[in-house]
Amino acid sequence: MVKIVWTELSIADLKEIFDFIAEDSNRYATITSNTIYQRVQPIMDNPFIGRIVPEFNQRLIRELIVGNYRIIYRIKSDTRVDILRIYHTSRLLKGETLK
């Protein structure tokens, strides 16, 4: 089982998503945030569950899709995975985005 570490950027992304959706519906913002958080949990048992991010084509940078969001993560070691970003699928993903 690996430890999941949410980076500062991923936490900020999740908060931004929540705040944006909450402008219309607190309930839906909570549901969306919880869904994203729950989708990450299976990574603990299988870090390779996500697909390789096509823009980077690196074995250890992967993603899970939740609705309109991409959860980008990096497998750091056998015991750690970092959640790098939560990105809307309509946005262009660039290398500097993950830093």
pLDDT bucket at 97, cuts 50 / 70 / 90: low
> In the chain, what is the straight-line distance between the N-terminal and C-terminal CA atoms, in Å?
26
Mean pLDDT for 83-89 is: 93
Say what the pLDDT of residue 8 is.
96
CATH of the domain at 77: 3.30.2310.20
Number of structural domains the chain divides into: 1
Q: Per-residue pLDDT tens for 24-75? A: 999 999 999 999 999 999 999 999 999 999 989 999 999 999 999 999 999 9
SS3 80: strand
Q: Which range marks the domain in which residue 91 is found?
A: 3-98
